[in-house]
Structure 1
């Protein structure tokens, strides 16, 4: 296993024995359930560390239907309540792998992708809890706030340029995407408009560079005096970090990233609408040195419900799928054109999937026992389909992938040891993943 020393192993064995004797000491000490201890008893395959430099997570908020996108099955019928796919399937560039008919552009280049069809967890009816678990790789804890995958990548790798932040969220901010116990330095910059950068980073036109320097000097002296008078707690430290980051990014180099009009009209059109422009901006942000980007595609106004396709939301689900197809295929080809695809891991994820059955209104409920996550680029062994589900995409038949395993795969692709321990402010060790193992077939 990666990063497990003899001392680590002895500590884990002690905690496991204590849990049996004392009713859960290991879970309390590690801040997580004991699901991984059984895995440690079996040998883990040696997995080479990946060499990706950047990561883009495309977030399909609401629970995208895997049986209607990446894991199609026999046709169903919403009117007669016959379980099955809502759309016909089509062949792809990967032999024996089909996808929904509304993903034709991605189908043609699926050899740059990997579909992981057997991701699973236990949260079904609570969007927020499921979203948090997919982002952190762990259940919510009452004693510690775990960092998101984006914050861990930002913490471990940092920005690739002094003119860029480590982590950008394109969409609305949420604690599930945050740094948790890692603190503000591993937090994100968020954007809701692709046409301009964060308003707080831009100084007014009448403020000259000399005047800005004087203002920053005054602010520094005020902050220094404040710290002398009051103990420096986490709130003060986080504020200082945020101010310093805003000042660092206030120059023109970062602002120029948002000039999408500098790209050709044909390229902008290939990406599609608002979501597509977010993906185009993501490529430009990567070029500026951003390490991790999350792009939200939960635009409810497109079909009335976003990806949470209960009842009538199912009727226009294809519009969302077509938008995803346009933007994702354009992003992959654009990164490839710029010779960045092997250096960029793309992750397409949602908090859970949808069942094969239809609800009373003709839509679908929630389902987390088996759903799909798509990985692309990143220098992995692409063109693979990981895992098999049953005839209704509801039961895993082979190669289950837990959320810790998914996180271990992402971190490993980014050159991060998924078993390394991080430390909370009170010096409590927390492994980067909950004993997750990278999907070996993607790295061998």
Structure 2
């Protein structure tokens, strides 16, 4: 049976019941294996870490993970920009510039039927994918990284639970969970967390005096513990002091890795992926690495007009780093306990714009899950001949979040609290059941 599952094949294999089949109709975010509010009847995930690779700008599914017949931007013929190649998963092809990832696709899963309704706004779509919800006027929702940090905490001593190597903003933040569950932000791989280190002139004695003064300030404001600003500041200071020691700094010594491995990872983005592996080894629970940092084509993944001309460079850079990360984690015996997520805010339409690029498309696009103890080597969902419409097995953003949570042993239906208001971890999402069978 091909691994690209459709409903008929899954039913024949005994994976779905007739009732679940009806529940999976396109346009519904209802679960395949559970009723709304019911307990999840799936083996609980065993992943301990998550590396979240963010393709900011909107990576086009038709030019990466869901290739179709080739088009022609000059003739305005809709279709893929590049040729498709076979992979380690029978029946599944990817873009020719994902050649290294193609060889390890049996350790990965392509989800080709992700969808949401935000099309025109990059910021709103980025928020949707990071928080799993639309923005609200009364509540600032936490990001998936902060949820994991809140629920699992750090897996080691003297390290943060959540590290961001990319662009800090509210979409990656803790929302109503508070600063304690926010990220440590890193600017590059060379200097390490310089903001966490004491300046040379601050001796241990001076630091001790400062901490004594801080303790007095805390005592003075002890009666004002309901003040969120003070509480968040206090939590941030406490976290920074924990991380200022030498142990966390050693994680950033990438020069201790073999040159052959560093070369396989590639440039700055690849080195950030290598750092992400080292951070997970140290006990960091969730690491986000942004891949729009170099803007190799002038626009990143936002390939309107001439941005399309060097999109293949972005894809190649992603390919080298991702494939090496999978192989490296496997060699370190960490792949089964480290979930890799390749995510983006939306995809791209099959047609070309006036300048030869592509617009935005959120009704059907692809994201990837790898390792993490999942049943890997599957291709979830399918799209029509131009990757514009979902043909089978739609996966909502809440479902995608629920899958990440469940793989990390987090109940996606658990309620957190924004003040007195109960807020479920996901907005009615349910794990992609096939990945846990």
Per the TM superposition, whether the score is higher than 0.5 is yes
Partner Cα separation in structure 2 for residue 225 and residue 41 of structure 1: 48
CA contact (8 A) 1:121 1:402 kept: yes
- Residue 431 (structure 1) aligned with residue 390 (structure 2): no
Displacement of 1:232: 4.1
- Report 1:134-145 matches (<5 A): 134-145=129-140
- Report 1:42-441 matches (<5 A): 46-228=41-223, 232-425=226-419, 427-441=420-434
- 1:199-236 C-alpha deviation (Å, 9 max, x unpaired): 221012343434422321222212322445x5640000
Displacement of 1:296: 0.3
- 1:382-401 C-alpha deviation (Å, 9 max, x unpaired): 00000010000011000000
- Residue 442 (structure 1) aligned with residue 431 (structure 2): no
Partner Cα separation in structure 1 for residue 407 and residue 387 of structure 2: 27
Displacement of 1:300: 4.8
Q: Which moved more, 1:208-217 or 1:252-261?
A: 208-217
Partner Cα separation in structure 2 for residue 44 and residue 246 of structure 1: 38
CA contact (8 A) 2:149 2:181 kept: yes
CA contact (8 A) 1:149 1:407 kept: yes
- 1:74-100 C-alpha deviation (Å, 9 max, x unpaired): 000000000000000000000000000
Partner Cα separation in structure 1 for residue 358 and residue 186 of structure 2: 31
Partner Cα separation in structure 2 for residue 315 and residue 301 of structure 1: 12
SS at structure 2 position matched to 1:333: helix
**Structure 2 residues not aligned, in runs of 5+:** 1-27
- 1:342-401 C-alpha deviation (Å, 9 max, x unpaired): 000000000000000000000000000000010000000000000010000011000000
Pick closer, same or farther for the CA change 1:40–1:76 going to 2, 3 Å.
same
TM-score by length of 1: 0.89
Partner Cα separation in structure 1 for residue 155 and residue 198 of structure 2: 24
CA contact (8 A) 2:36 2:428 kept: no
Partner Cα separation in structure 2 for residue 233 and residue 352 of structure 1: 38
SS at structure 2 position matched to 1:391: coil
Residue 24 (structure 1) aligns with: none
Pick closer, same or farther for the CA change 1:395–1:208 going to 2, 3 Å.
same
CA contact (8 A) 1:45 1:440 kept: no
Residue 25 (structure 1) aligns with: none
CA contact (8 A) 2:270 2:321 kept: yes
Pick closer, same or farther for the CA change 1:236–1:57 going to 2, 3 Å.
same
Pick closer, same or farther for the CA change 1:41–1:209 going to 2, 3 Å.
closer
Residue 23 (structure 1) aligns with: none
CA contact (8 A) 2:29 2:429 kept: no
Partner Cα separation in structure 1 for residue 36 and residue 164 of structure 2: 38
Q: Which runs of 4+ in 1 moved over 3 A?
A: 34-45, 206-211
CA contact (8 A) 1:36 1:434 kept: no
CA contact (8 A) 2:412 2:425 kept: yes
Displacement of 1:37: 10
Displacement of 1:180: 0.5
Displacement of 1:422: 0.5
Pick closer, same or farther for the CA change 1:382–1:302 going to 2, 3 Å.
same
CA contact (8 A) 1:172 1:191 kept: no
TM-score by length of 2: 0.91
Partner Cα separation in structure 2 for residue 327 and residue 44 of structure 1: 37
- 1:241-267 C-alpha deviation (Å, 9 max, x unpaired): 000000010000001111111111111
Pick closer, same or farther for the CA change 1:231–1:135 going to 2, 3 Å.
closer
Partner Cα separation in structure 2 for residue 231 and residue 333 of structure 1: 48
SS at structure 1 position matched to 2:405: helix
CA RMSD, 1 decimal:
1.8
**Structure 1 residues not aligned, in runs of 5+:** 1-33
